[in-house]
Amino acid sequence: MAATVVIVGAGPAGVRAAEAFVEAGVHPIVIDEGRRDGGQIYRRQPDGFTRSYETLYGTEAERAQALHRSFDALRARIDYLPDTLVWNIEPDAVHVASGTRHRRIAFDALIVCSGATDRLMPVPGWHRAGAFSLGGAQVALKSQGCAIGARTVMMGSGPLLYLVAAQYVKAGATVGAVLDTSSLGDRLRALPRLLALPSALKKGVALMNVLRRAGVPVHRGITPIAIDGSPEHGVTGVRARDAKGAVIDIACDAVALGYHVRSETQLADLAGCEFHFDTALRQWLPATDQDGRSSVRGVYLAGDGARVRGADAAERAGRLSALAALKDAGIAHVAQQADTAKLRAQLHRYTRFAAGLRAAFPWPARFAGALPDETVVCRCESITAGELRRVVNEMGAKEANRAKAFSRVGMGRCQGRFCAHAGAEVIAAEARVPLEAVGRLRGQAPVKPLPMALAPQGIEQETTE
């Protein structure tokens, strides 16, 4: 395969994709926004830190160590570009930035392993200093070796809620409470699908046991009321209603929020991939075949960036997408065909388990319509739920990009990562239309802020053909 293969991302999917190419004698370019490989889930600790794998990754320590060792073994046979952002994609080329340096890298095959980010539902006061996403709280612990507060409350739903809470407990941090919007009934109804992966279910039980032994209060079936505080002091507490309607009032100086995670799809959008609306997920996702081929020839999507199924599934999807690219390039043999069949069967189990997780920890879409008008939805631009409702009612903005044009929702530095899903839910509730009819915010380049030194007159052009 005398062609240029570019892999975006060095998490579980990206590493296994690179491994498959190397096995076939292909020397891929791996572009990683992080300083080192591992992605978010297996993020490596900073130089000089000596915490054990068990301390850092808990139940996932063995898999994290295996992935890191695999990547270390690949380093001499790939072109690895860490601390490098893919900020735009055009037909057959990616645009990357590292520091103040810009490069245009042409490709014959592109494997996008962009991972996932937090899925967030606003709550009054979540814009205060001390309110973080669950992923942000996890990054602070792994990369900076610190907690986000002296007493942290974890609020939301999904496996990440319990994972981060358990990681904080193991690190010696104080977790004031875990406030879960899902109910025990949700979990019991989802149990048949969760049994598709008994080992993963066992890990979830282990996380709960960590919290139980530490005496951390866990409240299920809650409804968030507000994150209390002030501009001067930031977060001072959290209020919520429990399943019986009683008010829970917990003092804290930090809150970590999140409702599972969402696929990071902006690069797929910039690559021109078709999208479809997933009714069960209430999300727009890029369309792929069972092996990761997108609607754009030469572009493959793998891991949580295509569909959230967890790190173990991402490893398999990454390898599967690389095998698909090799087959499309005319490089295939019997062993690869057998490997493909095995990977497809394994991913089917992970897909069933992921459906169980959705049922066990549902996205609380109903909260969007009940948000007070003064609640900030877009934290970058300080756009409130009331402003979104105004542009719906006064300006007829019932579509996401029209609402963006009139209100600036999603125009900030996060490019809608934090607000797009909840903003669409607010619009749909106010306009009384199906969420699908609201559409999705179109991806824009650059996907993240760039240094001013990359302005056109200062670009250092370097093309790899």
Q: Where are the domains of the chain?
A: 5-117+262-332, 120-259, 366-438
Position 407 scores a pLDDT of 95
Q: Has domain 366-438 been given CATH number 3.40.190.10?
A: no
Which tens digits make up the pLDDT trace of 442-459?
888 999 988 887 744 344
How is residue 374 written in tokens? Answer: 């003064």
pLDDT band at 333 (very low <50, low <70, confident <90, very high): low
Which tens digits make up the pLDDT trace of 310-321?
999 999 999 999
Percent of the chain predicted with pLDDT > 90 = 79
Which tens digits make up the pLDDT trace of 6-55?
999 999 999 999 999 999 999 999 999 998 888 888 888 777 777 777 77
How is residue 235 written in tokens? Answer: 């977060």
pLDDT band at 175 (very low <50, low <70, confident <90, very high): very high
* Model confidence at 59: pLDDT above 90: no
Please give the model's pTM, rounded to 2 decimal places: 0.92
Residue with tokens 């969760």: 194
Rounded Cα distance between 342 and 333, Å, is 15
Position 1 scores a pLDDT of 53
Position 456 scores a pLDDT of 45
Position 46 scores a pLDDT of 73
Position 282 scores a pLDDT of 95
pLDDT band at 334 (very low <50, low <70, confident <90, very high): low
Position 100 scores a pLDDT of 83
Average pLDDT for 127-136: 96
CATH topology identical between 5-117+262-332 and 366-438: no
CATH fold of the domain at 120-259: FAD/NAD(P)-binding domain (3.50.50)
**ω into residue 91 within 30 of 0, thus cis?**
no
Of the chain, the end-to-end C-alpha distance in Å amounts to: 15
Query: CB–CB of 4/29 below 8 Å?
Result: yes
How is residue 354 written in tokens? Answer: 């992921």
Position 44 scores a pLDDT of 81
CATH fold of the domain at 5-117+262-332: FAD/NAD(P)-binding domain (3.50.50)
Position 335 scores a pLDDT of 66
Query: CB–CB of 7/37 below 8 Å?
Result: no
Which tens digits make up the pLDDT trace of 230-285?
999 999 999 999 999 999 999 999 999 999 899 999 999 999 999 999 999 999 99
Share the mean pLDDT of the chain: 92
Position 461 scores a pLDDT of 46
| Residue 57, CB-side half-sphere exposure with 13 Å CA sphere | 20
Average pLDDT for 54-71: 83
pLDDT band at 463 (very low <50, low <70, confident <90, very high): very low
pLDDT band at 2 (very low <50, low <70, confident <90, very high): low
Position 409 scores a pLDDT of 94
245 burial class (0-12, 13-18, 19+ CB within 10 angstroms)?
A: exposed
